[in-house]
Amino acid sequence: MPNLFEAYRSAGWPTILTTIAFGAVWGIANLLFGMGIRHIGIGLAFPITIGLSLVLGTMIPLLAKGRLIATPSGLVVTGGVLLVLVGVILCGRAGVLRERNERQNVLQQTGTAFWIGLSIVVLAGLMDPCLNFAFSFGDSIRTASAELGGAAAGAESDGIWALALSGALVVNAVYCINLLIRKGSWVKYFSRGSFLYWIGAASMGVAWTLSIVLYGRGATAMGRLGDSAGWALFYCGIILFSALWAILMGEWKTTGKDARKLQWYGLALILAAILALGYANSFHA
């Protein structure tokens, strides 16, 4: 994006600061999600956070477009979101049943730690769609980039990610540096065998960044439904392929038939939602 700073100037400071703020809130959501998993396990934390993020991240940009939600495409997107929500609930239930075989049933942990964890993951789910809000409500940056020209095809959204992810970086860096200082654990970065963890963590970062860059390009190409149907498709892909990887890696081998059946039903609904969301974009709203 050779005209990046010109695009920022054209969009104005309110848009720039709002985009950074949305990114910072999304960074907090990621920290909270990790904390919540410690209390209630991934079987409950994942469907709650992903479900809330998918619904809010899809429907709020759609509602912000006013009459678009009442069009055929808007109605199909809404139906697709409902399919995903039911699918996520089924997958979440399957995850809870699986955890019963591995540790104490989290549903019976009615103590303070459980309710704190539940509150944390709900809050994470409410904050997580802020990354998509940065993309949606930072649209003037993308528009200015397109008008100025010179950017690679589809790269107009990269200026939004540069701001949003910088906001998230500050939040995560402050939190992690504080922990490293408080616990005196800087030395672990240089302990024997740590190099492999450096490579693993860096590879995860590169892979995720590529995914969000591809989302920006795909959502831009989808047009008016990009920041709604596109976000739902993006998260459907996350749920579907992470679940399939878990199955291929044998994580469900020792789980009962009921849990496996629920998991497959949930994934089938999510696959149906992907088809519905793709069909929604074929309409001309």
pLDDT digits (tens, 9 = 90+) for 222-235: 888 888 888 988 98
Average pLDDT of the residues of the chain: 86
pLDDT score at 135: 93
Q: How many CB atoms are located within 10 Å of the residue 161 CB?
A: 21
278, 233 contact by CB (below 8 A): yes
Identify the residue with better confidence: 128 or 238.
Answer: 128
Q: What percent of the chain is modeled with pLDDT above 90?
A: 37
pLDDT score at 43: 67
pLDDT score at 101: 63
Mean local confidence (pLDDT), 58-66: 84
255, 86 contact by CB (below 8 A): no
Mean local confidence (pLDDT), 138-149: 88
pLDDT score at 169: 96
Identify the residue with better confidence: 255 or 119.
Answer: 119
pLDDT score at 49: 87
Q: 180: helix, coil or strand? A: helix
Nearest to 221 by CA among 156, 275, 145: 156
pLDDT exceeds cutoff 50 at 105: no
pLDDT exceeds cutoff 90 at 178: yes
pLDDT score at 285: 46
Q: Highest-confidence range of 41-55, 57-71, 98-112, 194-208, by mean pLDDT?
A: 194-208
Three state DSSP letters for 68-113? HHHCHHHHHHHHHHHHHHHHHHHHHHHHHHHHHCCCCCHHHCCCHH
pLDDT score at 103: 58
For helices 130-137 and 139-148, give the axis angle rounded to 10 degrees: 40
Per the confidence metrics, is the pTM higher than 0.85?
Answer: no
